[in-house]
């Protein structure tokens, strides 16, 4: 059975705060989107549109009041998740 550390939530918040801070710093230099996200903007937008469409299909068309906002949240989550994964793999031994 896995053993969870009691400070895991604080560690996660601290890491995410660090990732968001690093991302803010990186984008302030206005780098190419591909450099930040790891894929072209059009490709990420396509993934976001497909994800929102699949969610609406599963939950009803009215389940998403603002599909564009949902796509933007998807894209932001993707980029932050990618950056978190990179920082987590860089911090892990081995």
Query: What's the pLDDT at 94?
Result: 52
- Between CA 31 and CA 37 the distance in angstroms is 10
Tokens at 52, concatenated: 């929102």
- Between CA 43 and CA 67 the distance in angstroms is 17
pTM higher than 0.85: no
Span 52-63, average pLDDT: 91
Mean pLDDT for the chain? 87
Query: What's the pLDDT at 16?
Result: 86
Query: What's the pLDDT at 5?
Result: 63
User: What is the tens place of the pLDDT at every residue in 17-53?
Assistant: 999 999 999 999 999 999 999 999 999 999 999 999 9
59 has a pLDDT exceeding 90: yes
Span 52-81, average pLDDT: 92
Nearest to 52 by CA among 29, 78, 16: 78
67 has a pLDDT exceeding 90: yes
């Amino acid at each position: 059975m896995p053993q969870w550390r009691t400070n895991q939530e604080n560690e996660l918040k601290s890491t995410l705060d660090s990732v968001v801070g690093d991302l803010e710093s990186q984008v302030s230099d206005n780098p190419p989107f591909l450099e930040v996200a790891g894929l072209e903007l059009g490709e990420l937008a396509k993934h976001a549109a497909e994800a929102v469409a699949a969610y609406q299909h599963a939950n009803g068309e009215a389940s998403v009041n603002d599909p564009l906002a949902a796509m933007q949240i998807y894209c932001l989550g993707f980029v932050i998740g990618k950056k978190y994964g990179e920082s987590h793999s860089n911090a892990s031994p081995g």
